[in-house]
Structure 1
């Protein structure tokens, strides 16, 4: 399998090395079994030399001089805010990289990206009309910038036809493990165990709602009010408190957050429930009541649906 890792200036160092190290470890385990290494990994770029965010120099084969790969991986840019990403997407090298990725995609290459690397795929139009994920705190910006993408930012990894996208930061490892898994489930499991990476199907366990990158004063006020009224929330009360109509509040939540107000309230309840599970020994029933649910059964069901984890699994995270 011919894999190109596409690099540009100011890449997120950990993202780049996580991809390379995970694939290299997969090759090593396969070679230990006496098989030939399946992953032919090449660092490529539209420039022959780039610098990572922390100043490491990386030599790259010129992408335009090479035949198309089986897989291209786009690691994250180090830019972490909408403003910085907006500037990055206008850089000549980024625009050239998008053009190269488009050509590879059209020739049958599987295109993949993690974290802010997903912005490059979306800006190239390769995610239009399909499901994708991105780094959770940039979901509102991503949704506004690329409205044609069906964003499912709760997911750690989304596989959609000829495209694979992964979530924030260390989801680079999840993406690389997915590539290894296409060759061998057994080897992927071995790599996962050596890297101490557990199955992480959802970003929802890690997301913090008030860290979502958006610039909307109504949503900021709504978010603050909801946190104070989790157990007694009603749409009528919320709209009155915001001094807007329920329709306006519904529309603004969808435009900015990609969710209905009710769904956002549920996100905040789940976030608060996870926090209490991980920081206290309070019973599930008591936590359910504290965040606005009728009983522990309802909370357990919603936690499983939202995060893919049981209560006991959630309690173990961060301990």
Structure 2
């Protein structure tokens, strides 16, 4: 498999090195039967990473015909510097190159903030995608034609694949290795003490998402004070001095989900916290987050996190 990594100034060091280490181990363990031919390509002769390291790059040339192109994340974790970075000349040139490679048949992949470059280039329009979870509100606002689901770790499409936040780069590399050889991917994952994760949901912090919008932040604060009560959209809207329709629309626009769904996210977060340190049994925890019994809460945790209560307790020790 011919893989081109498109490196830009200010890239996320860990994302790049995690992928390089995974593919290098795969080549080592395959004994030559499977080969990942890697090249780091740039629009400049060398790029400076987010941590200030200089990386030499190969120039983009007409004879470069990658099967896969991977865009590592930029080391910009907040909306303002990210928006500024997307307007850089080299980033705009990179978008044009991505479209050209895609036009030539290459598959395009990105993780974390790298997914913004794919969306900015129009490559994700009318397709499903994931991204770094804490910038999902910005992504949803900036790219309304993309069907975003930030709860997923990996989203393959006809264009390629997008992966989730930060060390989603490693999930992405393991996914590509697994496409070639599931056995080789299993071996690499065991050496790296890592495996492909299906979901980002256990890592999402609802409060961080709420920061993107003043009304959603107020709703989040109100919801935390009323977790033990049954949810009422009319009651929530009245407490926030807005209409139910406005609150519904704003939640959908910012969070990609209904007020009730976000309210349940907060219940799940609180329940996880109580599972970790309260010593309460499941029925008592259920009562704390507004459920009649532990069975209902158990179902919600399994549905949202893909894990049972016993597994969640074990993971939190």
User: TM-score normalised to the size of structure 2?
Assistant: 0.95
Aligned-residue CA RMSD (Å): 1.5
Aligned mates of 1:302, 1:292 — CA distance in 2: 12
Corresponding residue of 1:310:
308
Give the Å deviation of 1:215.
3.5
Ranges in structure 1 where 5+ consecutive residues have no aligned partner: none
Instruction: Verify: 1:68 aligned to 2:69, yes or no.
Output: no
Instruction: Verify: 1:42 aligned to 2:39, yes or no.
Output: yes
- Provide Cα deviations, 1:231-280, integer angstroms capped at 9, x if missing partner: 21311211111011111111111122111111111111112222222334
User: TM-score normalised to the size of structure 1?
Assistant: 0.95
Instruction: Verify: 1:173 aligned to 2:170, yes or no.
Output: yes
Corresponding residue of 1:267:
265
Alpha-carbon contact 2:210-2:216 (below 8 Å) kept: no
Ranges in structure 2 where 5+ consecutive residues have no aligned partner: none
- Provide Cα deviations, 1:76-100, integer angstroms capped at 9, x if missing partner: 1000111111000000100111111
Instruction: Verify: 1:102 aligned to 2:95, yes or no.
Output: no
Aligned mates of 2:34, 2:291 — CA distance in 1: 52
Aligned mates of 2:87, 2:216 — CA distance in 1: 29
Aligned mates of 1:155, 1:225 — CA distance in 2: 27
C-alpha distance 287-74 of structure 1, shift in aligned 2 (>3 A):
same
Give the Å deviation of 1:68.
2.1
Alpha-carbon contact 2:174-2:195 (below 8 Å) kept: no
Corresponding residue of 2:2:
2
Alpha-carbon contact 1:98-1:123 (below 8 Å) kept: yes
Aligned mates of 1:318, 1:124 — CA distance in 2: 40
Q: How many residues align?
A: 316
Summarize the alignment of residues 85-234 of structure 1 with structure 2, pairs less than 5 Å apart: 85-212=82-209, 214-232=211-229, 233-234=231-232
SS at match of 2:203: coil
Alpha-carbon contact 2:130-2:163 (below 8 Å) kept: yes
